[in-house]
């Protein structure tokens, strides 16, 4: 059973950071200096979510808000839990959370290699490819109806 826990304490936020570090810095080689930024605090302009399955922390994501759009960032799932539907379920859960909060659109910068995953989840490419942290990305969006 998948749980999306909004980080409300420093401990929950640190657990999100630990998963992000394992995926982005250790596995993908992104520098810790650029993986963390000014949005990595508990604040009203940004929500952090810890993705849990049963009793284990298995993923994390951050959601920023701009106008009527919710912007997914730092979405990651530990390698051993990928290809099981967890990413899709987490994505749908955060979409439902954002829709209930009144947001009309989801946006994200997807690594180009996983665009197909997001397209299967209803996202559309809205930019040309660009590089972020040395990795090709493309901006994608989905309207929440």
pTM of the model: 0.92
What's the pLDDT at 83? 87
What's the pLDDT at 1? 79
Task: Take residue 111 and report the two structure tokens written for it.
Answer: 């690594």
CA separation for the pair 95, 143 (Å, rounded): 10
Question: Which pLDDT tens digits describe the chain residue by residue (145 residues)?
Answer: 789 999 999 999 999 999 999 999 999 999 999 999 999 999 878 999 999 998 899 999 999 999 999 999 999 999 999 988 999 999 999 999 999 999 999 999 999 999 999 999 999 999 999 998 888 999 999 999 8
Give the DSSP per-residue string, 33-77.
Answer: HHHS-TT-SSBTTEEEEEEEETTEEEEEEEEEEETTEEEEEEEEE
CA separation for the pair 116, 121 (Å, rounded): 9
Q: How far is the CA of 32 from the CAs of 20, 24, 27, in angstroms?
A: 10, 8, 12
CA atoms within 13 A on the CB side of 88: 9
Q: How far is the CA of 55 from the CAs of 1, 2, 91, 97, in angstroms?
A: 10, 10, 20, 22
What's the pLDDT at 12? 96
């Amino acid at each position: 059973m998948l749980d999306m826990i909004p980080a409300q304490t420093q401990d929950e936020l640190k657990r999100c950071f630990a998963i992000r570090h394992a995926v982005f810095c250790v596995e993908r080689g992104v520098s810790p200096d650029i993986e963390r930024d000014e949005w990595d605090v508990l604040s009203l302009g940004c929500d952090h979510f810890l993705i849990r399955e049963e009793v284990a922390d298995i993923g994390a994501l951050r959601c920023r808000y701009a106008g009527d759009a919710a912007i997914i960032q730092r979405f990651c799932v530990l390698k051993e839990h990928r290809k099981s539907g967890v990413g899709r379920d987490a994505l749908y859960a955060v979409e439902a959370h954002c829709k209930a909060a009144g947001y009309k659109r989801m946006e994200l910068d997807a690594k180009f290699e996983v665009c197909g995953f997001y397209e299967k989840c209803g996202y559309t490419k809205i930019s040309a490819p660009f590089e972020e942290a040395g990795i090709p990305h493309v901006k994608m969006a989905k309207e929440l109806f």
